[in-house]
Amino acid sequence: MAGGKLGTRVLPVYGGRAYEPQIQALKDGVDVVVGTPGRLLDLVRQKHLNLSQVKVLVLDEADRMLDLGFLPDIERIVELVPAQRQTMLFSATMPGEIAALSRRYLTRPTNIRAESHSESEATPQVVQHVFQAHQMDKPEMLARLLQAEGRGLTMVFCQTKRACDRVAADLGTRGFAAAAVHGDLGQGQRERALRAFRAGKIDVLVATDVAARGLDVDDVTHVVNYECPDSAETYVHRIGRTGRAGKEGIAVTLVDWSDLSRWKLINGSLDLPFAEPQETYSTSDHFHEALAIPAGSTGTLPKAQRERAGLAAEELEDIGETGKTRSRAPRERDRDRDEDRERSRPARKRNRQRVRTRSGKPLASDAANASSEAVEVVEEAPATAKAPEPAKTRPTRTRERTRARATAAPAETHEAPAVSEPASEVPTVPAVPTVPAVPVVPVHEPIVPPTDAVSGVPIVTFQAPDTPGLVQETVSEPAPQRQRARRRTRGGRTAGDLAT
């Protein structure tokens, strides 16, 4: 913006983009370099950037820059610039410990506030609403809030990257033109979403706190804290995305039951009148009246109001991203993978023919059809190729049936008639003489003698040898029989006792 109005040559330098355009712009000469500490130090190490002639050093979002994460890089940059310089620090929030730390780099510093001391640290042009909402009812409340009268561009802040993707996908199914911005997206994808948001192709930007600082977009009318922020500074920076340059805005915060204690700390530090948020649901009347939501609004945007082109209308710019490839949406990743497979795999051309064979040789009828229907041209074999050798005939084998008990002479051998072939090609194999089989005498297993069922005495049996012409006989001794006498009794006494 400064370069367009004042004619100043300004170069933005940050990570995620290719080095070559930035190096070429530095060689051509610039007046102002705006960049992140990491990329600035990389260019200094490569000796493409010289900071020895710097006259003004500006730290935007100084409370974050002087935090423990960026403090070592800031100290290296301060050592590279001249001691005689002007240093300016800008931030919407300046905690006391950060202000004390900044005096190490400033000479006779002056604190300037762009507001009166009686005003709250929160943006005075922003109308704030705080509702106690249930986690499962928040998607419905957000969908109805986005249908409020006079709503323009809207930013929705979440605590986690996964929550951003989930909320953006849910709004897309409800008919809203929404996109997500968080740290897991590549630089090109984040810039694409911001360009579409500034151009009006999407009107809802779901982001983490990465978009709560340094993002200046005109005509942002609503800011929604879908989840309670973790500190008062984060809350001030979030709602500061609206109500900029003297304009008015609306900030809505949805506080879950589990976040009430954290919200009370934020409310007390900022001196806000929302210590006890009112319990609110998507069907509450005061919710519709406070945000001017039309009566009869539902959780789905009517098709007649879907006028935005969406994120797909904004092209993804090739900025030569460095580092690892960031993850994309599952649908885009699957679609790109399928397109790559179709592009890299050529179509297969096959010409399959089936020929009936017998004994490894094609039949005469099928061979004639195969030769007439063949598409590929077969080259003729060279004249020096050797002719295939004829198949060798296997000698015929005869089987002789023998019996172990019979001592008959071996059966006569019947040989199959040999096929007459030229002697020069296949030699005749002599017949193998048969050897008479040797009779095998079987070995009998010992037999356990059975026992009598009444007396239990074993019955002795005799097993005769297995000799033809003999009959096996079994000799058994009869079991002794028990004799039982019966006596007539009466009243437990025998008949003889009664007679006496």
**What count of residues does the chain have?**
500
CB 203 within 8 A of CB 308: yes
Residue 369 lies in a domain: no
Query: Does 165 share its domain with 77?
Result: no
Q: What is the per-residue pLDDT for 325?
A: 46
Q: DSSP E strands: which ranges in 119-174?
A: 126-132, 153-157
CB 140 within 8 A of CB 261: no
Residue 220 lies in a domain: yes
Q: What is the per-residue pLDDT for 370?
A: 53
Query: Does 198 share its domain with 238?
Result: yes
Query: Does 90 share its domain with 135?
Result: no
Residue 400 lies in a domain: no
Query: Does 44 share its domain with 97?
Result: yes
Residue 24 lies in a domain: yes
Compute the average pLDDT of residues 316-326: 63
H/E stretch holding 57: strand 56-60
Compute the average pLDDT of residues 110-115: 77
Other CB atoms closer than 10 Å to residue 52's CB: what's the count?
Answer: 7
3-state class (DSSP) for residue 66: coil
Query: Does 183 share its domain with 306?
Result: yes
Q: What percent of the chain has pLDDT over 70?
A: 65
Q: What is the pTM of this model?
A: 0.59
CA 307/CA 316 separation, integer angstroms: 21
Query: Does 98 share its domain with 132?
Result: no
Residue 218 lies in a domain: yes
End residue of a domain, out of 257, 288, 312: 312
Q: What is the per-residue pLDDT for 110?
A: 84
Residue 271 lies in a domain: yes
Q: What is the per-residue pLDDT for 409?
A: 46
CA 310/CA 305 separation, integer angstroms: 13
| Predicted confidence (pLDDT) at residue 354 exceeds the cutoff of 50 | yes
pLDDT in tens, 400-413: 666 655 444 444 44
Residue 334 lies in a domain: no
The total number of structural domains that make up the chain: 2
pLDDT in tens, 63-80: 888 776 788 898 899 999
Chain-centre distance of CA 84, in angstroms?
A: 54
Query: Does 49 share its domain with 142?
Result: no
Query: Does 208 share its domain with 273?
Result: yes
pLDDT in tens, 472-488: 555 555 666 666 767 77
Query: Does 60 share its domain with 131?
Result: no
Residue 42 lies in domain: 2-102
List C-alpha distances in Å: 260 to 34, 155, 265, 276, 284. Answer: 40, 23, 9, 8, 20
Q: Which residues pair with 153 in a beta bridge?
A: 220
pLDDT in tens, 50-67: 999 999 999 888 888 877
Mean per-residue pLDDT of the chain: 78
Query: Does 59 share its domain with 149?
Result: no
Query: Does 68 share its domain with 153?
Result: no
pLDDT in tens, 463-475: 555 555 544 555 5
End residue of a domain, out of 257, 285, 312: 312
Q: List the CATH number of the domain containing 303.
A: 3.40.50.300
CA 195/CA 315 separation, integer angstroms: 10
Residue 92 lies in a domain: yes
